Structure 1
Amino acid sequence: MIRRALTNTGWLMGARGVNAVLSLIYLAMATRALGVQGFGTFVIIFTFAQLIVGFTSFQTWQAIIRWGQGEEGRRSATGYALALDTLTIVTGTLVAGLVLGFAGEWLPIPRGLRWESFWFTLAYLLAIRSTPTGLLRLHDRYGRGAIADSTMSIVRVAGAGLLILTAPTIEGFLLVWAVAELATAGMYWLLAARTEAIFWQRFSLTRLPQAEPDAWRFVAGTSLTAMLSISSRQLLVLLVGTFGGAAMAGIYRVAAQLGEGLLRLAQALLRAVYPELVRNPKQARLLAARITRIAMLTGAATVALAWLGGEWLIRAIAGETYLSAWWPMLILSAAAAMELAGASLEALLVARGRAITNFVLRGVPTVAALCALPWLVGHYGATGAALAVLGSSVLSVSGFILANRRAAA
């Protein structure tokens, strides 16, 4: 069981490793081509799209794994997931249109770029790929998922290179990023369809809940938790832009891109471990404990590397202008190390059906961090925003430890 979980994590991290290298290339292109102010504006628009998706989307891949073990259950779970994804697209489009159309100057997106921001957000909504991701993971086809994930970075690098040779503008980078998202989603659907027929005829929001009374509760818990985990970080970037301006938002984004590599590893670990915990509940605690120990060592080593080589990395990729991102990067790497250590414990809570508990343990620290953000940014700039993330991660992971101990008692 642990070997399969680590193998699946390896596939996920193989793709993320390729993406990490390529992301440094397109990050260097974007930061240098757009400048601090232009890159900050691009980051704010990009973050707004991610925020809308995070607030309105459901973790349908977890529902497919939970109820898709048998063929009949898989058909109903797939139809339910497809209906939820459609609900996300409709809701997200309406919310994005209303916010961009009626928000005042407090929204740090220039009015001249709000139409472009709307179409960019719509592309991100259409590129939701949670359902095909769930189908691939249900069949342990992590290799195919790795191929699909690599599509995004390849398209971004190619498009950014083309822009630099022609006319590097904010609108041009938005177009490239949108095409990359849609291409990645298309690849996911293609590979999922090759793995198993997609049961479009079971499209329904009611069929699965009739058979599984806790379906809505489970989906609400997992989706709210993901919303907090993803959206809070995007909301944080927007608030940094609101309180500190576009340039500070760009600096913080560089710090996050370089410092949160372990967070992506934590997310990959959670996604790889969760199916094994569902399939083998009797051995779940042992598996989670072993992977947590491995994660703690990995996290400590990575934070040490960030301390030793972070400044050189920022200078090499983004240039001298972004050197103030070093301290935020170091703090964010420490926060990501905490998330990595807690990833298997979080997955264990969800596998035990404690999705709402998980949400509360994420929600309370996140709200506290966001409430403290204006003061932290006002006094410490981008470093203050990173401290808010670190504090939230420490409190959440501590809660996972206590909740799992109580559940096991």
Structure 2
Amino acid sequence: MGRLFANMGWLLGGRGLNAVLSLVYLALATRTLGLEGFGYFAAIVALGQTVTGLANFQTWQFIVRWGANGDGPDPQNKIDATGFAIALDLLSVAMGTVFAALLVLSVPLWLPLPPDLLWLTFGYCVVSLLSIRTTPVGLLRLNFEYPKATAAEAVQPIIRAAGAVLAWLFMPSVAGFILAYALSEIAVAAALWFTAARHERIDLSALSLRRIPAKHADAWRFVLSTNMSGSLTIAGKQVMILLVGTFGGAALLGGFRVASQLGQALIALAQTVSKAILPELVHAREDALAIARRMANIALVGGVLAVLFAVFFGRWGLEAIAGAEFRVFYWAMVILAIAGAVELVGASLESLLVSAGRAGTAFIVRAVPTILALVLLDAAIDWNGAKGAAFAVLGSSSLAVVGFYVAILNLREIRFVVEADPAAEAERKSATSGEAITASEPPPKI
């Protein structure tokens, strides 16, 4: 647990820097572009992140899963896992570029984005694909090099904030702020690859889509499951933002994007918890349940505190950062903060399922609520505008976390030791009298 908290400390430190600098470029972009202009900017960013999220494989998980061996990484396992991951990255870039072209061509049919911004949108999508960086992140996490990863990732918010200042001074337009975003993507990808290569030699001769599947029969199933889970995460956030623009227009999209960025900062925290905890769960399977349970309890406390902060200071924060015209999105921000708190609690539960080889289960549990939220989004916006869209997000997150909990209750691969206490033993035997659970496999309690 000590190493876990240390790793989380480095990750959260990086997130803290990112959060502070994010306020800089968010304030500059919203105040320079206005509600509708920021909506165009947000649409382009969401399109780029959607393309990358749907095309990208979660290669850091593959490196952690197949690069580890017992108490430490095995050199050959690491080489094969890295070669497989890079090969998948190249496949992502190729498929993603085609997908980006088709998506941008279709934009005039469903998204309120001016035609003169379409080439800029396609360029940003391609830059986002070329900046895929999950493989070097996976190598650093496999070796628990969180300080180096955090230092490299700090390049992104620094370049983004500096670029936003330059755009504000010399190119105060949607194109100027998109160029700042694109430059930060390229810079952080280069920094992470450079850091990973200094720590470990990248053997390009090991590029192969066959070696890992030959060693692990479930490899492609795991690859597809994690890719679909990652795609669902994107659908639950970026596609939701794009559809808000489709159903509500550019101004509603811009306001919802600001509310989402401020209110759902907790989801970024949830992803941080997930990224820190997964390597620990893979390396320490016997203690996986205890680690996940403790992290869920800590997350619950942190989530409640963050929601209270949003309630009491959110209105002031919206006006101070984005301007008076954005304050009408206060309640949407609070609802999205609650959704972020729910995701924060569920992060360790989802990681527990993935670490136990149940990525497919995690995908299904995430898929149903996400699809339901997207289907109901138009009706939710008609009902209550941005607040309705935020309620759709909250409902999706809540159903997913409940699903993770139920799935873990039925996960027989996870076992734990019951304290040698006569009363507890009697209670355990009584509880296992049902036909579905044996005395040696009590249901885990999260």
1:21-68 Cα deviation digits (max 9, x unpaired): 000111000000111111100100110010111111100000001110
Show the 5 A alignment for 1:228-247: 228-247=232-251
CA distance in 2, matches of 1:275, 1:167: 43
1:265-284 Cα deviation digits (max 9, x unpaired): 11000010000100111110
1:179-235 Cα deviation digits (max 9, x unpaired): 000000000000001110112111111111011111111111111111101232101
Identify the residue that residue 142 of structure 1 maps to in structure 2: 146
Identify the residue that residue 112 of structure 1 maps to in structure 2: 116
Q: Which letter maps to 1:44? A: A
Identify the residue that residue 29 of structure 1 maps to in structure 2: 28
Q: In 2 relative to 1, CA 102–335 (structure 1 residues): closer, same or farther, beyond 3 Å?
A: closer
1:237-286 Cα deviation digits (max 9, x unpaired): 11011111111000001101110111111100001000010011111001
Q: In 2 relative to 1, CA 104–32 (structure 1 residues): closer, same or farther, beyond 3 Å?
A: closer
Q: In 2 relative to 1, CA 253–102 (structure 1 residues): closer, same or farther, beyond 3 Å?
A: closer
**Of residues 209, 212, 218 in structure 2, which corresponds to 1:205?**
209
Q: Which letter maps to 2:282? A: V
1:218 aligns with 2:222: yes
1:12 aligns with 2:14: no
CA distance in 1, matches of 2:375, 2:157: 34
Identify the residue that residue 196 of structure 2 maps to in structure 1: 192
CA distance in 2, matches of 1:107, 1:148: 35
CA distance in 1, matches of 2:291, 2:160: 37
Identify the residue that residue 347 of structure 1 maps to in structure 2: 351
1:287 aligns with 2:291: yes
Identify the residue that residue 71 of structure 1 maps to in structure 2: 75
CA deviation after TM superposition for structure 1 residue 107, in Å: 2.8
Q: Which letter maps to 2:5? A: L
1:76-113 Cα deviation digits (max 9, x unpaired): 10000001000110001001112212444313322111
Q: Relative to total residues, which structure has the larger helix share, 1 or 2?
A: 1
Percent of aligned pairs with the same residue?
46
CA distance in 2, matches of 1:389, 1:200: 41
Counterpart contact for 2:108–2:115, Cα < 8 Å: no
Q: What is the SS of the residue equivalent to 2:113?
A: coil
Q: Which letter maps to 2:227? A: S
Identify the residue that residue 311 of structure 1 maps to in structure 2: 315
Q: Which letter maps to 1:324? A: V
Give the stretch that moved more between structures: 21-30 or 229-238: 229-238
Greater length-normalized contact order (CA 8 Å, ≥ 6 residues apart): 1
TM-score, normalized by length of structure 1? Answer: 0.98
Structure 1 consecutive aligned stretches of length 4 or more whose deviation exceeds 6 Å: none
Identify the residue that residue 85 of structure 1 maps to in structure 2: 89
1:325-361 Cα deviation digits (max 9, x unpaired): 1111100110010011011111000010000000000
1:98 aligns with 2:102: yes
**Of residues 360, 363, 372 in structure 2, which corresponds to 1:359?**
363
Counterpart contact for 1:251–1:325, Cα < 8 Å: yes
Unaligned regions of 5+ residues in structure 1, if any?
none
CA distance in 2, matches of 1:149, 1:247: 31
Q: What is the SS of the residue equivalent to 1:407?
A: coil
CA deviation after TM superposition for structure 1 residue 7, in Å: 1.1
1:263 aligns with 2:267: yes
Identify the residue that residue 54 of structure 1 maps to in structure 2: 53
CA deviation after TM superposition for structure 1 residue 384, in Å: 1.1
Identify the residue that residue 44 of structure 1 maps to in structure 2: 43
Identify the residue that residue 433 of structure 2 maps to in structure 1: none
CA distance in 2, matches of 1:107, 1:334: 28
CA deviation after TM superposition for structure 1 residue 176, in Å: 0.9
1:272-316 Cα deviation digits (max 9, x unpaired): 000010011111001111111000000001101100000010111
Identify the residue that residue 342 of structure 2 maps to in structure 1: 338
Larger radius of gyration: 2
Q: What is the SS of the residue equivalent to 1:134?
A: helix
Counterpart contact for 2:377–2:389, Cα < 8 Å: yes
Q: Which letter maps to 2:297? A: R
Q: What is the SS of the residue equivalent to 1:120?
A: helix
CA distance in 1, matches of 2:237, 2:273: 19
TM-score, normalized by length of structure 2? Answer: 0.90
Counterpart contact for 1:50–1:231, Cα < 8 Å: no
Counterpart contact for 2:148–2:195, Cα < 8 Å: yes
